[in-house]
Structure 1
Amino acid sequence: MHSRTRLLLTGAAIALIWQLPYGQMALYPLTLLATYVHEMGHGLTALLLGQQFQEMLLHADGSGMAVWHGDPGRMETALIAAGGLLGPTLAGVSLLVLSGSTRFARALLVVLALVLLLSMALWSRNIFGLGFLLVWAVVLLLAARFLPAAGAALMLQLIAITLCLSWFTDLDYMFSGQAVVNGVVHRSDSAVIAQALVLPYWFWGGLVALLSMLLLLLGIAVASRTPVKPKATL
């Protein structure tokens, strides 16, 4: 099967499962991993813009929050909000491109595990979040140790496609002015952007969804140029 066809079928299967009655529960570890990347997108964008990233919270209901401090301008505030919305897609596309070859697949799994452990030490502040990230780090390290190179690359692509498609499950959130985090109502990221700039929140939600879809198609196009094949030696 051509790599582009495999990626498209994997993406379609994940999108379909997410729409089934218990689909999000079946993909719960991957769904919450996308939440983690979303919150890291907020926090790292804040750091890049000279603000302080204080902590990240992940909750069992699949929600999360990045807490940052500083005195940003209107554009910086909008960019920090957009960093969370686009973070999973950007991370997913990067993984798709990097996993196009099996050469460094297992090393990349180790790098991802180390990133999770580092974010635990620096920013994760609640018990559930710490436990979730630790489990994922262990799974990635075990996969790097025991999976063949082709299997490691396929695992990376599964994670990448899930991250790229997380915007699809967040469409209601993108086109809403509010969000519920651990039972508490907050402004949505789209509403934060709208308040910082101009135009309504649904415009910014639609723009982010469009950018996410275009980035996904670009990532699949680039990644499918290099088929995932196991290395052979004589």
Structure 2
Amino acid sequence: MATPEVFGTQPAPELWLVAGTAALALVAVVPHAIWRLSRNAITIAHEGGHGLVALVTGRHLQGIRLHSDTSGLTVSRGRPTGLGMILTAAAGYTAPPLLGLGGAWLLADHRITLLLWVATALLVAMLVMIRNAYGAITVILTGAAFLLVSWLTEPGVQAAFAYAAVWFLLLGGVRPAFELQAKRRRGGAPDSDADQLARLTHVPAAMWFFLFHAVSLCSLIGGGRWLLGL
């Protein structure tokens, strides 16, 4: 594909397509049976957020694992305390909605093809750090979907795929923190991101949950307004 097509703009889709992809993303997030499968994509963004911030803050990223129960693990080496570790721990639950917000900004500027290529590049970069077979297969399939859509489909199909993906990140980024809170109330997840942050900062885990919810809900509202042209 020629460079001008990647960095140029594409026609804005009709409002019915934007609304339809939002409904499709909602169907992927709300029913529990579908969410058990679709949540894998949110886990990719979650663990990718941990990994990216670990690298940016100077930590040594050792590897990322994605599991079939939609959990994941990112291992980095460096100081066990300090700002770098705090930012790395905080990046997981905030990454999917913030990626969705960034995607909504690109789509609001009609950069559909650029969004697809940026997503593909991020997935390829993440694949290098995957350390288990299930994780590698999941990332390869997701990256292949973005690559094939960007190379082989018409602009209308690209727009529908891009909008559905961004809506999914925005909507799917809201649910995991609520699920984690419910699990902690039942006595599970004693070493969650919120609990790690509480130990690192001496700020109660409840405040970190407030941050996760604030980021995800504000991203959904802001990103949704951009996608709907408001």
Which ranges in structure 1 are unaligned for 5 or more consecutive residues? 227-234
- Structure-2 change in CA distance of 1:13 and 1:110 (3 Å): closer
Partner residue of 1:191 out of 154, 175, 195:
195
Shift of residue 186, structure 1, vs aligned partner: 5.8
Tell me the matched-pair count.
217
In structure 2, what is the equivalent of residue 105 of structure 1?
A: 112
Does the alignment pair 1:132 with 2:141?
Answer: no
* Amino acid paired to 1:216: L
| C-alpha contact (below 8 Å) 1:178/1:188 kept by paired residues | no
The answer to whether 1:51 aligns with 2:59 is: yes
Choose 86-95 or 65-74, whichever is displaced more. 65-74
Question: Could you say which residue in structure 2 is the equivalent of 1:229?
Answer: none
Q: 1:100 to 1:108 in 2, by over 3 A?
A: same
Within-5 A mapping of 1:33-48: 33-48=41-56
User: What secondary structure, in the 3-state scheme, does the structure 2 residue paired with 1:65 have?
Assistant: strand
TM-score in terms of structure 1 length: 0.80
Task: Determine the structure 2 residue equivalent to 1:61.
Answer: 69
Q: Secondary structure at the match of 2:173?
A: helix
Task: Give the helix-richer structure, 1 or 2.
Answer: 2
The residue type equivalent to 1:147 in the other structure is: T
Write out per-residue CA displacement over residues 73-113 of structure 1, whole angstroms, 9 at most, x where no aligned residue: 344332211111111111111111212355x4234323322
The one-letter code sitting in structure 1 at the alignment partner of 2:49 is G
Question: How far is the alpha carbon of 1:174 from its aligned partner?
Answer: 4.6
Contact 1:52 1:69 in 2 (8 A): yes
Q: 1:114 aligns with which of 118, 121, 145?
A: 121
Q: Is the 8 A contact 2:43 2:71 kept in 1?
A: yes
> Do 1:89 and 1:164's aligned partners in 2 also have CA atoms closer than 8 Å?
yes
Contact 2:46–2:94 (Cα < 8 Å) also in 1: yes
Checking the alignment, whether the CA contact within 8 Å between 1:89 and 1:216 is kept in structure 2 is yes
Alignment-mate amino acid for residue 44 of structure 1: L
Question: Per the alignment, do residues 67 and 127 of structure 1 end up closer, same or farther by CA in structure 2, a change over 3 Å counting?
Answer: same
When residues 218 and 8 of structure 1 are mapped into structure 2, their CA distance, relative to the original with a 3 A threshold, is farther
Q: Superposition RMSD on alpha carbons, in Å?
A: 2.9
| 1:173 correspondence with 2:180 | yes
State whether residues 89 and 197 of structure 2, in contact with CA within 8 Å, keep that contact through their aligned partners in structure 1.
yes
Q: How far, CA to CA, are the matches of 1:72 and 1:21 in structure 2? A: 36
Question: Is 1:200 matched with 2:204?
Answer: yes
- The residue aligned with 1:76 is 84
Cα deviation digits, residues 108-159 of structure 1 (max 9, x gap): 32332232122212x0110111111111222212111232223212211211
CA displacement at 1:214 relative to structure 2:
0.8
Report the CA distance between 1:68 and its aligned residue.
Answer: 0.6
- Normalised by the length of structure 2, the TM-score is 0.81
Residue 7 of structure 2 aligns with which residue?
Answer: none
1:195-214 residue CA offsets vs partner (Å, 9 max, x unmatched): 11233212211221022101
